[in-house]
Amino acid sequence: MAPMKNKYMNPYLAGTLLGLVLLLAMVLSGRGLGASGGIKYCVVSIVGALDRGHADKSAYYSKYFENGQKPLRNWLPIEVLGILAGGFISGAVSKRLKFKIEKAPGISRARRLVFAFIGGLFFVYGAQLARGCTSGAALSGMAVLSLAGFVTMIAIFGSAYVFAWFFRKNWI
Amino acid sequence: MAPVSTLPGFPAELDLLIGFIIGIGFGFALEQAGFSSSRKLAGMFYGYDTTVIKVFFTAAIVALVGSQFLSYFGILNLNNVFVNEYYVGAAIVGGIIMGAGFIMGGYCPGTGLSALSIGKIDALCYFFGGLTGAFLFAETYPMIEELANGSYRGPVKVNEVLGVSPGLFTFILIAAAIVMFWLAELAEKRFARPDISSEL
């Protein structure tokens, strides 16, 4: 198969598009973009549905159910639904919709899936602690000149570079 | 004056609809950039593909410059735009945990969702891992509450800490980004992996 050139959008153009979406979020809703926060609301909602007593007793969960609130009726989880829809539209337009396990040739599919699970676990755990992930803390934070945003961005990328050496067999 | 959601009488339901539309734009931009590919994202940390830094800094600068212009012309009141609060320990430790998750999983939460939307099975595992991570955080919250809420500094801005105006800091950031983009191009040549790039 001949290598396809320019399959994805030019990075500076895609970055401009992403920046305009972020600017629109600031102008319309007075906030930045998010992803891990939406995942948190999903978990809060699931825990509340499975064991409401546990949620009401917990200092962490209970604040999301105060005054009859519904965790999924918030900006972030609905925005996350939008991310899935927008990604799907983009994949359909660019003919990239395909069930696939993406991995380096040297590792097994099981290894890739296990590391993907652990990676997601670590990332969202860290994002709850730092009150935002690459989108909510780093990108959106930098756009409003938040010191927390810059510090979190440097910590994420610095840490990933350090750990990259240990996990190099997974990728290169 | 914007933010539109702060205008008197603005219905809360409409803000949720805006969230959905913003999400569509966000997911579309991430997928078009190639962020639905974990091997493309991981390239940032081995040098063979530096799309991440180009997209990330371009986006931050576009939103930063755009919001300052809108504020200057009296269209956007930046005092009503959320500024992330700084908890020193939580930002640093949380960031380090996230970096480890990034290199193990190959995605961050947003890019993982865009990958999930086009059918990546590894992104589905990443998503379930993410749900588990949020659950573990909630369950271990009493143990790490001190770290999470300690060393609070408020919604402090980076330019204030450095004692410069927002405009001057933005200018410095743009100059730094140009240098980083140039270094990124050099890295892509130095660490080129045609075998990987041809598969992305």
- Residue ranges making up the domain that contains A164: 101-172
Tell whether A161 and A132 lie within a shared domain. Answer: yes
Per-residue pLDDT tens digits for A118-155: 999 999 999 999 999 999 999 999 999 999 999 999 99
Tell whether A123 and A141 lie within a shared domain. Answer: yes
Residue with tokens 């939008």: A82
User: B20: part of which helix (H) or strand (E)?
Assistant: helix B12-32
Q: Which residues of B touch A139 (CB under 8 A)?
A: 56, 59-60
A8 in Cβ contact with A14 (< 8 Å): yes
**Looking at the 3D structure of chain A, how many domains does it have?**
2
Tell whether A88 and A128 lie within a shared domain. Answer: no
Instruction: Tell me the C-alpha to C-alpha distance, in Å, between residue A46 and each of A37, A51, A59, A67.
Output: 14, 8, 16, 18
Task: Provide the pLDDT confidence category of residue A1 given band limits of 50, 70 and 90.
Answer: very low
What does the alpha-carbon distance between residue A42 and residue B77 come to, in Å, rounded to a whole number? Answer: 31
Tell whether A50 and A105 lie within a shared domain. Answer: no
For range B129-141, the mean pLDDT: 97
Mean pLDDT of chain A: 94
Tell whether A32 and A76 lie within a shared domain. Answer: yes
Q: Which residues of B touch A78 (CB under 8 A)?
A: 16, 19-20, 23
Interface of B with A in 131-170 (CB under 8 A): 131-138, 141-142, 144, 147-148, 153, 155-159, 161, 166, 169-170
Residue A6 reports pLDDT greater than 70: no
Residue B93, pLDDT score: 98
Mind giving me the DSSP string for B123-189?
A: HHHHHHHHHHHHHHHHHHHHHHHHHHHSSEEES-BHHHHHT--HHHHHHHHHHHHHHHHHHHHHHHH
Tell whether A108 and A77 lie within a shared domain. Answer: no
Residue in B38, B114, B184 with CA at minimum distance from that of residue A92: B114
Q: Structure pTM?
A: 0.96
B101 in Cβ contact with A126 (< 8 Å): yes
What does the alpha-carbon distance between residue A77 and residue A44 come to, in Å, rounded to a whole number? Answer: 11
Which of A59, A74, A100 marks a domain boundary?
A: A100
What phi and psi values does residue A65 have, to the nearest 5 degrees? -115, 0
Mean pLDDT of chain B: 97
Per-residue pLDDT tens digits for A54-80: 999 998 999 999 888 999 999 999 999
Mutation pick from A10, A128, A150 vs chain B, by most beta carbons of B within 10 Å, is A128
What does the alpha-carbon distance between residue A146 and residue B94 come to, in Å, rounded to a whole number? Answer: 16
The alpha carbon torsion through B53, B55, B58, B60 (nearest 10 deg) reads -80
Per-residue pLDDT tens digits for B36-60: 999 999 999 999 999 999 999 999 9
Interface of B with A in 7-66 (CB under 8 A): 15-16, 18-34, 36-40, 42, 44-46, 48, 51, 54-64, 66
